[in-house]
Amino acid sequence: MPDVTAEIQIGAHPDKVYRLAKDIERFPEFLPNVQKVTITARDGNRLVSEWHGLVPEFKRTIKWTEEDLWDDAARCCRFRLLTGDWDRYDGFWSFEAVDGGTRVRLEIGYDYNVPLVGPLIKQLLRKLVQRNAEETLAGLKQQAAQEG
């Protein structure tokens, strides 16, 4: 079960939105807390990438390596943590054709144990992950609009 879920409707064809989502190295252009994404391995629709992000509220950087398994026929992606600062990080993207556009759904499961954190910090972290998911979808919508 995901810890956070975000959805958005984008007025562009699902193939276009899916293609934009696969271009993960561009995410720092529209995600303020993602500094850098580098693809380190590509094998068909399997990508391995290194991510560098900021958690300004904790005054911390966060780094991880994830594996993305893209399914072009179904227009979806499963991703999971391979190594890094997260204790658990995984999820699922889906891109569904709807009236005149695409419904994108992003589900993220995570655990990030900061030493000596209490329930309030865990609630803040959940809000931060939720906000990041929503910013990701809003960024895709903006990219789709810019490409016309």
pLDDT value for 129? 92
CA-to-CA separations, 57 to 31, 66, 112, in angstroms, rounded: 16, 23, 14
Q: Which fold has domain 4-147?
A: Alpha-D-Glucose-1,6-Bisphosphate; Chain A, domain 4 (3.30.530)
Q: Is 116 exposed, middle or buried (0-12, 13-18, 19+ CB in 10 A)?
A: exposed
**pLDDT tens digits along 6-36:** 999 999 999 999 999 999 999 999 888 999 9
- Distance CA(47)–CA(69), nearest Å, equals 7
Structure tokens at 51: 């991510």
Using alpha carbons, select from 46, 43, 41 the residue that is nearest to residue 22. Answer: 46
Query: Quick one: CA torsion of 43, 45, 50, 52, rounded to 10 degrees?
Result: 160
**pLDDT tens digits along 57-88:** 878 899 999 999 999 999 999 999 999 999 99
| CB distance 104 to 93 below 8 Å | yes
Using alpha carbons, select from 138, 133, 134, 114 the residue that is nearest to residue 57. Answer: 114
pLDDT value for 56? 86
**pLDDT tens digits along 29-51:** 988 899 999 999 999 999 999 99
pLDDT value for 117? 63
- Domain spans in the chain, listed from the N-terminal domain onward: 4-147
Residue 118: pLDDT over 80: no
